[in-house]
Amino acid sequence: MKKEIQIKKEFKKKQFQLVRGMKDILPEEQKYWLHIEDLVRRLADKYSFQRIGMPIVENTELFKRSVGTATDIVEKEMYSFFDKGNENISLRPEFTAGIARAYIEHGMLNLPQPVKLYALGPCFRYDKPQAGRYRQFNQINFEIIGEADAICDAQVILVAYQLYQQINLQVVIQINSIGCPDCRPEYENVLKDYLKKYRSKLSEVSGKRLSKNPLRILDSKEKDDQEIVKDAPQQVDYLCEGCREHFIQVLEYLDELEIPYALNSKVVRGLDYYTRTTFEIWPVEGEDGRMVELGGGGRYDGLAELIGGRPTPAVGFASGVERLVSLIKERKAPVKEPESLDIFLAQLGIEARKRAITLFEELYEADIKVTEGLARRGLKAQLELANKLGVKYTLILGQKELIDGTIMIRDMEGGIQEVVDAKKVILEVKKRLEKARVNVNELNKVSAIGPT
């Protein structure tokens, strides 16, 4: 009994902290997120992508079949569990498999093709947390499903490129083709033969991948592996006619669009469903010299069939939002600031507070950017808050004003206070705000002309 009380006491004292690998997105960071979400919505509108939302959980088997059992994501990183109905489900580690599942399940095959979809939201991977790598992170996804033409690969890359451009981030598309089930086996054999010569020097992980997934050795992060694969044979030299033609067309479209790209035979991606085009988006090296990819994608013509659908070509990309936000901050790229507030509504006394509640609604409905200090008691505290928020005017409603049918308007810059008729307060506020706006415009004009 004593022990139980002791545990209860300790539990009460315990200060909880974030689960490892997770991240709070605090109010001061929200402007970056809103800015990015806004850009994504506008790009989606421009290129006719429709938003889709899927559950965070899917059947574990869906990811096994699509992402692949021999990948890090499925082997080590999935949050998988049995629910109370004994169903094996997983928190989504990515969107593409779920989007393909939804496309098949809802018969989108019968819609005019291609179907263009985009999605935003959290994904989960139980990875080692480090800079730019979280266990819960957010992705932006754009997918074009139901069309094999290379123009779709180019359009998806264009959308990705524009996303980064509009955040003032210089990026280069690292692009490759990993062929198709017809031409890849030959290349895999050539690659295996090459790698076998260095078997004893390969890292432990790459040694294991040699027989099952040799392509992944090409993008190993281990220094020794990187040295070995430097001179490895390249898939582009082993593409079949169809894949070569497709790749050339994608590159020609990128040339036409003047999108900077670099051919990179090591971009094979960490998911098994890719065919033909694969690409990653890398920032042009910053001062810190870090080189972590911002996003990646590619074509996945075989995925629908793998999960029970009809053959359906598709291409898409995803970008991590946390990585975008941290780069925007690091490079001080401009973002849309939250709208500034014009008016603070202060009150003194219970009766004034009652009136202030409804007056706030009236001001808001009149399109005035207003905030309030309804939960605060003293006038001093409310004026301090108003100052902090940088409003132009504070409306003060006290007992006396209530009896007189007036309201006090305080100019926060000069500290001048005027009493106005309460019935005309909206008009009076609008008049003053308009005058302040005209003054600012005049000032801007003078500073644009410069000293005479």
Longest dimension (CA), the chain: 94
CB of 136 to ligand HAM, least distance (A): 8
CB of 23 to ligand HAM, least distance (A): 9
Closest to ligand HAM by CB, 233 vs 270, is 270
CB of 236 to ligand HAM, least distance (A): 20
CA 413 to chain centre: 39
130-134-137 Cα angle (round to 5): 150
Instruction: Answer for the pair 316, 297: CB distance below 8 angstroms, yes or no.
Output: yes
Between 143 and 428, whose beta carbon lies closer to ligand HAM?
A: 143
Q: Is 432 helix (H, G, I), strand (E, B) or coil?
A: helix
Q: Least distance (Å) from ligand HAM to the CB of residue 144?
A: 9
Q: Which is nearer to ligand HAM, 324 or 429 (CB)?
A: 324
- CA 247, 248, 249, 254 dihedral sign is positive
Q: Is 421 helix (H, G, I), strand (E, B) or coil?
A: strand
Direct distance between the N- and C-terminal alpha carbons of the chain, in angstroms, rounded to an integer: 86
Closest to ligand HAM by CB, 155 vs 406, is: 155
| Residue closer to ligand HAM, measured from CB, 92 or 392 | 92
Strand ranges inside 255-354, DSSP E: 261-263, 275-283, 295-299, 314-320, 343-347
Residue 263 has what DSSP assignment?
Answer: E
With CA atoms as reference, report the closest residue to 219 among 277, 282, 267. 267
Residue 409 structure tokens = 């308007």
Per-residue tokens: 352: 């004034």
Of 198 and 317, CB closest to ligand HAM? 317
Whether 300 contacts 311, CB under 8 Å: no
The least CB distance from residue 274 to ligand HAM, in Å, is: 7
Nearer to ligand HAM, 95 or 253 (CB): 95
215 Rama sector, left if φ>0, alpha if ψ -120 to 50, beta otherwise: alpha
Q: How far is the CB of 316 from ligand HAM (least distance, A)?
A: 3
User: In the complex with ligand HAM, which residue's Cβ is closer, 247 or 344?
Assistant: 247
The residue nearest ligand HAM at its CB is 320
Report the nearest approach of ligand HAM to the CB of residue 94 (Å).
3
Interface ranges with ligand HAM (CB under 6 A):
94-96, 125, 127, 132-134, 137, 139, 141, 143, 270-271, 293-298, 300, 316-320, 322-323
Nearer to ligand HAM by Cβ, of 270 and 349: the residue is 270
Task: Tell the smallest beta-carbon distance from residue 390 to ligand HAM (Å).
Answer: 34
Q: How far is the CB of 63 from ligand HAM (least distance, A)?
A: 11
**Nearest residue to 56 via CA among 104, 93, 19, 107:** 93
DSSP letter at 137 equals E
Q: CB of 395 within 8 A of CB of 350?
A: no
Of 317 and 344, CB closest to ligand HAM: 317
* H or E element at residue 141: strand 136-145
Sequence-ordered list of residues with C-beta below 8 angstroms from that of 281, at least 6 positions apart, any chain: 160, 161, 164, 171, 172, 173, 174, 293, 294, 295, 296, 317, 319
Q: How far is the CB of 206 from ligand HAM (least distance, A)?
A: 19
